[in-house]
A and B are shown apart, each in its own frame.
Chain A
């Protein structure tokens, strides 16, 4: 289930990246690398688990499935947090800088009004 959730996240983030490419203002490439890297690694994990359990691998207990779904969603959330942190720190559009530091003329005007 974790693998499935991560693969969906990887496909969606790749589609979003493709839509905006070659512009990379939103840095969605970060999400693609993270989710595809994790998907490949969990795929290998799944193969080893399948080799050990056989067909039983495809019929997990509902409690395990729920836990794996919860884990998958948490992984996606962690990826999104890392992405938004990188986006705000690198600030490719200059939005954070513009909102933190007002131009001198603007601040004088605001003070004049106030």
Chain B
């Protein structure tokens, strides 16, 4: 009914946090890494960039889900925009769906993002480790 609103709200919060973090971030730390068969000096992935991955996932998914709700007539381009919001009984069902399906969606996307961060960290550590220590 309006489950996509929960990930969309999370996306808005993450975007604000990302902007704040990127403003406070200093020059990204550089490390030597094995890249394209040679040793290159590269910048470590800043946290703001990792936050952008999450906001991209959330915004992208919420946008396409909003289209699905438009398709099913659950979202309309006039007030109150959500057809279920016009009727109190439907509104209760909608809020229950948001609290269950919507929250689970946000949690699953965030969990997938955490897995991505963990994988990126492992790749980064492994690539740095393969570089022979400077004499």
Contacts and interface: CB of A to CB of B under 8 A. Distances in A.
Contact of B59 (A37, A43, A44): A37
B108 A37 contact: no
Main secondary structure of the interface of B (DSSP, over half): helix
Interface in B56-73: 56-65, 67-68, 71
Nearest to A2: B68
Main secondary structure of the interface of A (DSSP, over half): helix
Given A44-B101, A45-B3, A78-B64, A37 B58 contact: yes
A82 B63 contact: yes
Contact of B105 (A44, A75, A79): A44
Given A38-B60, A71-B71, 10 more contacts: A29-B56, A33-B56, A33-B60, A36-B60, A40-B61, A41-B7, A45-B101, A48-B104, A74-B67, A78-B67
Contacts of A40: 57, 61, 105, 108-109, 112
Interface of B: 3-4, 7, 53, 56-65, 67-68, 71, 100-101, 104-105, 108-109, 112
Interface of A: 2, 6, 29-30, 33-45, 47-48, 71, 74-75, 78-79, 82
A10 to B, nearest CB: 10
Contacts of A29: 56
23 contacts: A29-B56, A33-B57, A34-B63, A36-B60, A36-B61, A37-B57, A37-B58, A37-B60, A38-B60, A38-B61, A40-B57, A40-B105, A40-B112, A41-B4, A41-B65, A41-B105, A44-B104, A44-B108, A45-B105, A47-B104, A48-B104, A75-B64, A78-B67
Contacts of A33: 53, 56-57, 59-60
A79 B65 CA distance: 11
Across chains A and B, which 3 residue pairs bring their CB atoms closest together, nearest first?
A37-B61, A34-B60, A33-B56
Contacts of A75: 64, 67-68
Contacts of B65: 38, 41-42
